[in-house]
Amino acid sequence: MIRIIIDKSKCCGSGECVKVCPEKAISLVDGVAVLDESLCDHDGICIPACPYSAISYEESEPGGCGF
């Protein structure tokens, strides 16, 4: 699974990510994009939508031995 990360220092508050998120998991709070992880389905649609590359992701391992 991937985890969505929003870099607040890069966010300009244009809301492009808010518009594309089908789950309405992103909102603007004080002009900065904030993710509600409980709504996010981790499809990654918002990542290319940001013109300032403020959204990225990291892989989260499900556990196990790593092989």
Residue selected from 11, 16, 21, 50 as contacting ligand SF4 according to rule CB under 6 A: 21
Helix (H) or strand (E) holding 17: helix 16-20
As given in the structure block, the two tokens for residue 59 are 């892989």
How many residues touch ligand SF4 under the rule CB under 6 A: the total is 14
- At its nearest, how many Å lie between ligand SF4 and the CB of residue 25? 4
Q: Which of the stretches 8-16, 40-48, 59-67 binds ligand SF4 when contact is defined by CB under 6 A?
A: 40-48
CA 61 to centroid of chain Cα atoms: 18
Ramachandran angles phi, psi of 31, nearest 5° = 80, 10
Confirm or reject binding of residue 42 to ligand SF4 (CB under 6 A): yes
